[in-house]
């Protein structure tokens, strides 16, 4: 009796689950490094600051920290506190990282997508200041006091301004970045286990 030959079964893997990781946290905490790592794991990069930079270019203004803060606040005043997230939401494809979230209304807007999760990246002030000195980005502040003073501007009570302290309270996940890059990557993997 001849055995019938069946064609080999195709092994199909299911696509990875939808995932949109929003990043918030104070200056020089490691949001950029977290975003780079997530991009290396297949997520597409977006930044609310990119929308502000595009607007600064349209206005013919240099993208200094002060200009970006003022333009971002202006866009929120004119189009609502979630305006930057609204524009970004239309650009998302389902496996994304969204950097530079600084206002609770931005979080609320992005949460309309059920795949969204907010991660706060944080480190102690002194460590963040040392990192800011290493990267030498204009506008970070040259002394610890100036660095801390500039950070206070991002903790406004004005709902159309940066409200970093309130955004941080909405975080679903917290990544402590007071150690090495390898430790940060391990924490990201642990926090997003099964979703990357």
Q: Summarize the confidence of residues 121-139 as an average pLDDT.
A: 88
Q: Which domains does the chain have, with CATH numbers?
A: 19-191 (3.40.50.300)
pLDDT, tens digit, 9 for 90 and up, residues 82-128: 999 999 998 999 899 999 999 899 999 999 999 999 999 999 999 99
Q: In this structure, how many other beta carbons lie within 10 angstroms of the beta carbon of residue 167?
A: 23
Of the listed ranges 2-6, 30-34, 79-83, 124-128, the least confidently predicted one is: 2-6
pLDDT, tens digit, 9 for 90 and up, residues 53-79: 999 999 999 998 889 989 998 999 999
User: Under 8 Å CB-to-CB from 55, ≥6 apart: which residues?
Assistant: 71, 75
Of the listed ranges 7-21, 34-48, 181-195, the least confidently predicted one is: 7-21
Q: According to the model, what pLDDT value does residue 3 have?
A: 56
Extract the tokens encoding 5: 């030959």
DSSP for 31-57 reads HHHHHHHHHHTTPEEEEHHHHHHHHHH
- Does the reported pTM lie above 0.95? no
CA 51 from centroid of its chain's CA atoms: 13
Mean pLDDT, the chain, whole residue set? 89
Comparing C-alpha atoms, which of 168, 75, 81, 63 is closest to residue 118? 168
Q: According to the model, what pLDDT value does residue 137 have?
A: 76
Q: Summarize the confidence of residues 155-169 as an average pLDDT.
A: 82
């Amino acid at each position: 009796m001849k055995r019938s030959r069946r064609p080999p079964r195709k092994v199909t893997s299911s696509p990875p689950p939808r995932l949109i990781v929003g990043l918030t946290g104070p200056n020089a905490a490691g949001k950029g490094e977290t975003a780079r790592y997530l991009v290396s794991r297949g997520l597409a990069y977006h930044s609310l600051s990119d929308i502000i930079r595009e607007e600064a270019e349209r206005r013919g203004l240099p993208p200094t920290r002060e200009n970006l803060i003022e333009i971002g606040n202006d866009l929120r005043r004119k189009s609502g506190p979630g305006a930057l997230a609204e524009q970004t939401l239309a650009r998302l494809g389902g496996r994304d990282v969204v950097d530079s979230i600084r206002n609770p209304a931005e979080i609320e807007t992005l949460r309309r997508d059920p795949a969204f999760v907010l991660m706060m990246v944080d480190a102690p002030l002194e460590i963040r200041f040392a990192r800011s000195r290493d990267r030498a980005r204009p506008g970070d502040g040259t002394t610890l006091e100036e660095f801390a003073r500039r950070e206070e501007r991002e903790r406004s009570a004005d709902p159309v301004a940066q409200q970093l302290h309130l955004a941080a309270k909405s975080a679903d996940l917290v990544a402590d970045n007071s150690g090495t890059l390898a430790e940060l990557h391990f924490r990201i993997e642990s926090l997003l286990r099964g979703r990357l």
